[in-house]
Amino acid sequence: MPRPRVVILGAGFGGLHAARALAREPVDVVVVDRRNHHLFQPLLYQVATAGLSGPDIAAPIRKVLRRQRNATVLLGDARAVDRAARKVLLADGEELAYDHLIVATGVTHDWFGHEEWAEHAPGLKTLEDAMRIRARVILAYESAEREEALERRRAWLTFVVVGAGPTGVELAGALAELARHTLARDFRRVDPRATKILLLEAAGEVLPAFPADLALKARRQLERLGVTVRTRARVTAIDAEGVAIDGERVAARTVIWSAGVRATSITASLGAPLDALGRVRVEPTLALPGEPRVYVIGDAALLESGGRAVPPLAPAAIQEGRHAARNVARALRGEAPLAFRYRDRGALATIGRAAAVADLGRFRCSGLMAWVLWLFVHIFFLIGFRNRLAVLFEWAWAWLTYQRVARVIPHAAERMKRR
């Protein structure tokens, strides 16, 4: 008799930890992902700002699961789930039958209904996004160097980050360091230290999910780095020439979007209640309502635990992945599923060189101490020993020299022409 097949869609934090948690269970695990690598997303902003190489924060999924004999990796693009037939439909027309399904497909960008902004304000979720942003940032300086008119040069040297959650804050801080230190003396006509970095947030303070005192400290640290922070700022237009903030135009040739996300389209095929962003309202067990064979975890899932919404963070996805795996194992033994309980480990955000804020519940800190904490936590959780060493090395080097190692972009001149 063939063993039950557990299909896991997505090899992010949730999916990968679900797969691992099933290693000793009597099942065949199939992990499906559109990419061949797991991505350590919390460090993606470092790739976008030329601090790290892509491969430093990515691990081939096959390598991660190599020793897990009951796991198979399938490079494929899952498009829909047919619950009645218990099948996943792939983009190339193939079908994949499942006995149990764990949907861990995460979220993608959402421009609040303004799809036309996507081209001018790319978001940061994948390695490809990071490479695109890196190319835009580096080429903005190249274009400024070749620009004669002062006004236009200034527009090339203005960077706007929309959304001051952890990613926006980290991006703005890294852009400031790139301008003030790494590139400071590389040009002849332009002075990168004159770069304007504008961080926009619709809420009343940066890092809205953090306690107010830490958020304020983060803002102060950003301002010390030279970032201009504007809160209660609503973006009303974005095009190739800049943005409008509550109607006021700001000329900026480089805009990065870190404001909105939505679930990938596959959740629509699950036939389950979704919120406006396509996220699935799951039961306390993480299963779809009335469908104990299908679990949704990670950023694509919506649920409360201990009276609060489970946040869209890597630790939550990891916990949910393990929990869904455990419930699958229980179902195979004929046991009832258990309700998920989120254990809040806190949250961290870094603001450039040697500054960060850490919210660990009762314990809070900011500045150098929070940064060291952030460093250790992130390196510890990077999957793969080798990556840990390489990232530590890159950082030590960047920290000592203010250099950024990954300033190389492909097709530089052609890209510049196209803009």
**Which amino acids are annotated catalytic?**
170
Interface with its own copies, residue 80, by CB under 8 A: no
Among 112, 304, 412, 419, binds its own copies (CB under 8 A): 412
Q: Which of residues 2-21 bind its own copies (CB under 8 A)?
A: none
Contacts with 144 (C-beta within 8 Å, 6 or more apart), sequence order: 153, 156, 157, 187, 189, 190
Among 19, 27, 37, 102, binds its own copies (CB under 8 A): 37
Binding window for its own copies (CB under 8 A); candidates: 125-133, 247-255, 281-289, 314-322: 125-133
C-beta closer to its own copies: residue 343 or 417:
417
Binding window for its own copies (CB under 8 A); candidates: 3-11, 19-27, 245-253, 400-408: 400-408
Interface with its own copies, residue 411, by CB under 8 A: yes
Closest listed residue to residue 46, CA positions, set 415, 416, 365, 405: 405
**How far is residue 375 from each of residues 48, 173, 381, 382, 408, measured CA to CA in Å?**
18, 15, 10, 11, 25
3-state secondary structure of 368: helix
Is the Cα dihedral 105, 108, 112, 113 positive or negative? negative
C-beta closer to its own copies: residue 56 or 177:
56
- Min dist CB 244 to its own copies, Å, is 29
Q: In this structure, are strands 280-281 and 28-33 parallel, antiparallel, or unpaired?
A: unpaired
How is residue 57 written in tokens? 């924060």
C-beta closer to its own copies: residue 64 or 347:
64
Give me the residue label for tokens 């299908």: 294
Q: Which of residues 376-395 bind its own copies (CB under 8 A)?
A: 386, 389-390, 393-394
How is residue 92 written in tokens? 């190339």
Interface with its own copies, residue 60, by CB under 8 A: yes
Is the Cα dihedral 297, 302, 307, 311 positive or negative? positive
Other beta carbons within 10 angstroms of residue 90's beta carbon come to 17
- Min dist CB 106 to its own copies, Å, is 15
Per CB under 8 A, residues contacting its own copies are 33-37, 53-56, 58, 60, 62-63, 66, 72, 74-77, 91-92, 126-128, 131, 138-139, 142, 146, 185-188, 386, 389-390, 393-394, 397, 401, 403, 405-414, 416-417
